[in-house]
Amino acid sequence: MKTAGIIIIGNEILSGKVTDINSPYLCQELRPLGVEVKQIITIPDIPEIIGRTVVDFSERFTWVFTSGGIGPTHDDITVASIANGFGIELFESPLIMKVIRNYHGDKMTSAHRRMAMIPEGSELIEYAEGRGPQLQFRNIFVFPGIPEFLKIRFSAIKERFRTTPIVLKQIYLKADEGVIAESLDATQEAFPELMLGSYPKVSGSDYDVKLTLECRDSTYLEKAFDFLYERLPEKCVLRIE
């Protein structure tokens, strides 16, 4: 099973000045690819915290996605913090320098040049002509914090993450959660590999509860679905998707 951890980096997120939309986007994209996001964390622009968190996530998940802190300003410290966390030196990438020079020309500054410093052992993924390559260090993909840029970069490389898909069934019910709780408990106990969710809807819909059943094995999913369906109160199922 392929798993992922998402690290959102930035004081602006923690202070509420900016709303994080990158982690929901990545979750929505990774799920259909078969990658299960196991943890999302938002951390400040503090080098020790960034380094420690990235090392921890790298050890626990198949893939790690960071967002934020890779520009030319004082608080763009993500890449250096990752290198420090792993005890790796930085070097100036000729490929990134070429892109920076082509883009900025005579207006290139030393601050722009710092953006070409990457950890030794990194892989640069060229995803579009004329654009800076995507940085991968070990199993960590370092993305910009600007949502539009992150989406462009991720969409160009997302197929490399595709694995055994997660199959989904949804059941819409006209029933209270308390009425179906025992049926859900019995199903989860009988099918421990099933990812079973129950989501009540307060208003604005024709249903009271949506159940989601997810698994990587379609046969296992069908058996779990039949088991649950037989235990639901009569006439409470509105539709199945």
Q: Tell me the CATH number at 196.
A: 3.30.70.1130
If asked whether residues 20 and 36 sit together in one domain, one would say yes
Q: Which pLDDT does position 119 carry in this prediction?
A: 97
CA 40/CA 53 separation, integer angstroms: 11
Could you tell me the CATH number of the domain that includes residue 100?
A: 3.40.980.10
Token output for 102: 């082509």
If asked whether residues 187 and 90 sit together in one domain, one would say no
Token output for 227: 């088991």
Token output for 236: 């409470």
Pure H helices in the chain: 11-14, 22-33, 47-60, 78-86, 94-104, 110-114, 147-157, 177-190, 218-231
If asked whether residues 131 and 52 sit together in one domain, one would say yes
Average pLDDT over residues 172-199: 96
End of a domain among 133, 161, 189? Answer: 161
Q: Which pLDDT does position 25 carry in this prediction?
A: 98
If asked whether residues 195 and 84 sit together in one domain, one would say no
* Cα 122 to Cα 68, 83, 147, 237, distances in angstroms: 18, 10, 23, 52
If asked whether residues 124 and 230 sit together in one domain, one would say no
pLDDT score of 140 more than 90: yes
Structural domain of 139: 3-161
Q: Which pLDDT does position 224 carry in this prediction?
A: 98
End of a domain among 161, 176, 194? Answer: 161
pLDDT score of 232 more than 90: yes
pLDDT-based confidence at residue 182 (cuts at 50, 70, 90): very high
If asked whether residues 195 and 150 sit together in one domain, one would say no
If asked whether residues 94 and 156 sit together in one domain, one would say yes
Average pLDDT over residues 2-12: 97
The share of the chain scoring above pLDDT 70, in percent, equals 100
Element (H or E) spanning 45, and its range?
none
Token output for 239: 């539709």
Model pTM? Answer: 0.91
Identify how many contiguous H helices and E strands the chain contains and give both numbers.
Answer: 9, 12
If asked whether residues 19 and 86 sit together in one domain, one would say yes
End of a domain among 126, 161, 196? Answer: 161
Q: Which pLDDT does position 104 carry in this prediction?
A: 87
Q: How many domains does the chain have?
A: 2
Q: Which pLDDT does position 137 carry in this prediction?
A: 98
Q: Which pLDDT does position 227 carry in this prediction?
A: 98
Over residues 41-90, the pLDDT tens digits come to 999 999 999 999 999 999 999 999 999 999 888 889 999 999 999 999 99
Q: 239: helix, coil or strand? A: strand
The rounded mean pLDDT for the chain is 95
If asked whether residues 127 and 209 sit together in one domain, one would say no
If asked whether residues 134 and 91 sit together in one domain, one would say yes
- DSSP symbol at 59: H
CA-based Rg of the chain, rounded to a whole angstrom? Answer: 22
pLDDT score of 203 more than 80: no
pLDDT score of 22 more than 80: yes
If asked whether residues 121 and 55 sit together in one domain, one would say yes
If asked whether residues 87 and 32 sit together in one domain, one would say yes
Please report, as a single letter, which amino acid is at residue 28. Q
CA 135/CA 223 separation, integer angstroms: 43
pLDDT score of 105 more than 80: yes
